[in-house]
Amino acid sequence: MQDRGFSFYEEPVPFDCYEETRQVADALTIRIAGGEEEASLRQFRWLIETGVLHVVQPDMFYFGGMTRALRVARMAEAAGLVRTRTSVALT
């Protein structure tokens, strides 16, 4: 995917395999996206702070609404990720 110019690789492993997601992120240069099934604010913080996810995608219904999704967006921005129209992405 990275050789073909894709913008990001979404959930390369099952969403709750955090260490495995980190291994994929470390091995590739393409941005890693995820978070649609994540329900934990603490896990989002870890995924963002450790650089595992470059594109965070909290699902507004599954994650608990706009307020919680905005908390994730603020964490991502504080970590140097920028907001795009559909997600938060690493520049």
What CATH code is carried by the domain that includes residue 13? 3.20.20.120
pLDDT, residue 84, reads: 58
Can you give the pLDDT at residue 68? 93
| pLDDT value, residue 2 | 82
Cα 26-28-29 angle, rounded to 5 deg: 105
| Structure-token match 């908390």, residue found | 71
User: What integer pLDDT is reported at residue 91 of this predicted model?
Assistant: 45
Count of domains forming the chain = 1
pLDDT given at position 62: 86
Q: What does pLDDT average to in each consecutive run of 10 residues of the chain (91 residues)?
A: 88 94 94 94 95 92 91 92 58 45
Please check whether residue 30 is in contact with residue 61, taking contact to mean a CB–CB distance below 8 angstroms.
Answer: no
Structure tokens at 87: 């997600």
Cβ atoms of residues 2 and 30 within 8 Å: yes
The whole domain housing 77 covers 2-90
CA distance 24 to 60: 26
- pTM for the complete prediction? 0.82
